[in-house]
Chain A
Amino acid sequence: MQQQEHVSEETAKMNEIMGKEGPDIEGQGTPVQDILKAEPEAQKQAPQVMKDSIRTGQGAANAKPSTSRSFSTLTRRRQQDLTTSTHLPSSLDPSMIPTAAQRATYTDSHPPAPPSVQDTKTGHKFPLPSLPLPPTARKDERYDPIVTQLTNLLMRDGKKATAQRNMTTILTHLRTSPAPVYNPTRPLLPGAPPASHLPLHPILYLTLAIDSVAPLLRIRSQRGAAGGGVALQIPVPLGLRQRRRQAFMWILDAAEKRQNRGSGRDMFATRVAEELVGIVEGRSGVWERRAAVHRLGTTSRSNLTYGSRGRR
């Protein structure tokens, strides 16, 4: 069946015969504004916005929309969330960062804007805060997200102040104990700073330990799926908070099994902190638990399609 040509194709052929330039049909279709411009009948039926744009002459500017989008439709990559944004060194190529000379040229060519009310801070009884407000300025988010999450996991019987004190003890222990010695057989997250930097950045230390030992997946046991009363092991990927939670629960288990050397109310927190140091130094048994989960995930990866292929 011979189909009628598209209006753009027709115009393109016509123009080719006449020796003129026409719409580029190889790249994309004709914008609707072009069609409307040529056909006054269709203009009457067009929406008001288009009529307005044709009248003001903006239609010409919209004639050829750019081929690239101003936004990205790619989903955000998980990898970025795994590292805390503030502490880990930038992974950008040094050549992409402007040099000092380039920055100087830029600042010369762009004189600074006149100071705003925020900067001058005059005319107020209490000075205005500098904007943008830091993320920790809000009451509910005053601590680092990982510290908040782990404090809640440490909490027993709803005693949050006790949990906060324990978290303080953990971070103080990380600050005051000697710098860890990395174990090459237990690689930490890529981009980990030198070990000597860790004690002065206790939250980075904590994040590195937790994220390094966090499992990527969990095993879901689907009952009755494998047949014969055997559960089918299905690996399920975990989100960032889930991974951290799993890792910290393992650490709490390991800390409970350690023996106290001292007495007093800070002993459990001290044991947790010792376990964290053990993880970074590669001595902890939590690494084995992580490896076991990952091994099981590898062997049962064929079960991933269980949901899509339906029940047997």
Chain B
Amino acid sequence: MSTPICLRCLRRSLFPPISSRAAKLAATRAAFSTTPSRSANPPKKQSTTAKRDTSKTKSLRLSKNKRVVTGRPPAPGERKALRKRVVLSNSNALEVAGLEDFTAENVRRATLLRQLEGRVVGFGDATVNVLRALEGFKPTQGWGLFRRPASLVRAETVELGEMMQTLKGEKSMLSLLLAGERGSGKSVLQLQAMAVAYLQGWIIVHIPEAKDITIGHTAFQPVKTTDGQTIYIQPQYTAELLDKIAQANRGILSDLRLSRQHQLPIPIQSNISLARLVELGANDPQLAWPIWQALWAELTAPSQPDKQGLHRPPVLVSADGVDHIMRNSAYIDVETKPIHSHELAIVRDFTALLAGKTALPNGGMVLAAISKSTAANSPTFAAAHGHPRQFARASRDRRPKLPEWNPYDSLDQRVAEVMENVEVKNVDGLSKQEARSVMEYYARSGMMRGTITEGLVSEKWTLAGGGLVGELEKGAVRARF
């Protein structure tokens, strides 16, 4: 067994010896890599054998076997950037006349928001910039087909908007998990919640893909907490997250200043604005984690509206694809045991908010959404948000049946504790009225041809699995012409 060697490797990576050679190596290599730098760039072998005479090789030489490279090859990262590019406008699509926007006015008043129900409503330019900075738009959604971003205000949106008004007024907190079929509009509902939060003057913290935290693509390092636990921080990822927070909330955070002293590795002004603080963390991954902690201490401090810069607005914390953080991560510890996702520092903070262990004294909402297109296997989490498969079977049998725990699955105690008090909101398909509204929007944009009749709406609604909006879009706009 080669365990001792492996352990030594890990220990060495955990506590790097300070030597001039290692420092030089660290300076040259990338911030994080899953392969040791030594094997990434193997030293060139001294050629001991005589050089082979290439003129006497017996391989078949054909002109068609040569690979001709023409033009500049794509730069590193360019190909992925093109794949992940989010296009929000199609200049060929028709401008929809009378398309209203989400405004601060119609979002703050419940009656105005209710009037918008069942209509397609656009996002204003400022809102689009904020949502783009938060990476709320995804490349798989159909934004690139229409003139400008717009979404259907459904009953759930109005409900969520009213809930947020109440939470802001009462300074209370709510944890909500959005569950539902693939393409039912969970992520877009989250996006609408972010838009409403922005227009109501909330601070928004959004984790666009929880999967990115746990799949082991970003550097991690252990730290000891005050209560003696080992948690794992991810400096690069934290810095990127702080960057998104800074870009999206610049307007609000620049009005807020520090309310107390924090233990930070660098000296900072005592009255520095929160926007500047977050930018410091975004620019330096080594500072990201302490600044993340300082930011949360500030956001969860009680509001002092009478003092300038010490008022604290409500906070919306959201994460998409949370089933990936409800299981073991892809990282391993020094004993080569898998690290549970909840031991990762960012996930730990998020789940503390989701479970209500960390309070938001100025009001706020924790909005998590599951992912069905990249669903991770997490039996405890699946049971917690309703065991949809068993429910489906029960409804087919027409016998009400309580979800049963599969005795062969191991219960994840941490996940069970977190999910204990989380409210689950099931996002279903659209009603036929809503489906008609969204199809009329497609037709007025010029993306769907033909008259929208009751029969057509009914047909598409049925083919879309009972009005799943993603499937409706696929059937009406994408796959059929």
Q: Which residues of A contact B (CB under 8 A)?
A: 127, 144, 147, 164, 168, 171-172, 175-176, 178-179, 199-200, 202-203, 259-264
Contacts and interface: CB of A to CB of B under 8 A. Distances in A.
A175 B91 contact: no
B83 A263 contact: yes
Contacts of B478: 168, 172
Given A261-B78, A261-B82, A264-B83, A178 B71 contact: no
A262 B479 CA distance: 23
A281 B73 CA distance: 25
7 cross-chain pairs, A with B, having the tightest CB-CB distances, nearest first: A262-B82, A199-B92, A263-B79, A264-B83, A200-B446, A176-B90, A262-B79
Contacts of A171: 481
B444 to A, nearest CB: 12
B79 A175 contact: no
Chain A interface main SS type? loop
Nearest to B144: A176
Interface in B403-447: 446-447
A203 B480 CA distance: 11
Contacts of B479: 164, 168
Contacts of A175: 90, 92, 145, 447
B45 interface: no
29 contacts: A127-B455, A168-B478, A172-B145, A175-B90, A175-B92, A175-B447, A176-B87, A176-B90, A176-B92, A176-B144, A176-B145, A178-B91, A178-B92, A179-B92, A199-B92, A200-B92, A200-B94, A202-B481, A203-B481, A259-B71, A260-B74, A261-B78, A261-B79, A262-B74, A262-B78, A262-B79, A262-B82, A263-B82, A264-B83
B178 to A, nearest CB: 27
Given A172-B145, A175-B92, A176-B145, A261 B74 contact: yes
A261 B250 CA distance: 34
B235 to A, nearest CB: 27
Nearest to A147: B481
Contacts of B90: 175-176
A153 to B, nearest CB: 18
A175 B446 CA distance: 10
A1 to B, nearest CB: 73
A175 B448 CA distance: 12
Contacts of A178: 91-92
B455 to A, nearest CB: 8
Contacts, number: 47
A202 B479 CA distance: 12
Name the residue among A164, A202, A261 with the largest chain B CB count within 10 angstroms: A261
B80 interface: yes
Contacts of B79: 260-263
A175 B449 CA distance: 13
Interface string B79-113: 11011000100111110000000000000000000
A273 to B, nearest CB: 14
A110 B381 CA distance: 70
A260 B73 CA distance: 9
A259 B70 contact: yes
A176 B146 CA distance: 9
Given A261-B82, A263-B83, 8 more contacts: A147-B481, A168-B478, A175-B145, A178-B91, A203-B481, A259-B73, A262-B74, A262-B79
A171 B447 CA distance: 12
Given A147-B481, A168-B479, A175-B92, A263 B80 contact: yes
Nearest to A179: B92
Contacts of B145: 172, 175-176
Nearest to A169: B478
Contacts of A263: 79-80, 82-83
B473 to A, nearest CB: 12
A169 B479 CA distance: 9
Nearest to A270: B82
B374 to A, nearest CB: 15
A178 B87 CA distance: 14
Interface in B54-84: 70-71, 73-74, 78-80, 82-83
A259 B455 CA distance: 45
A264 B83 CA distance: 7
A165 to B, nearest CB: 9
A260 B74 CA distance: 8
Nearest to A264: B83
A171 B93 CA distance: 14
Contacts of B91: 178
A179 B80 CA distance: 26
Name the residue among B78, B83, B455 with the largest chain A CB count within 10 angstroms: B83
Contacts of A176: 87, 90, 92, 144-145
A171 B144 CA distance: 13
Interface in B124-156: 144-145
B390 to A, nearest CB: 30
Given A168-B478, A175-B145, A262 B83 contact: yes
A200 B442 CA distance: 12
A200 B445 CA distance: 10
Nearest to B450: A134
A260 B93 CA distance: 27
Contacts of A203: 481
Contacts of B144: 176
A144 B480 CA distance: 10
Contacts of B80: 263
B463 to A, nearest CB: 12
A172 B93 CA distance: 12
Nearest to B80: A263
Contacts of B82: 261-263
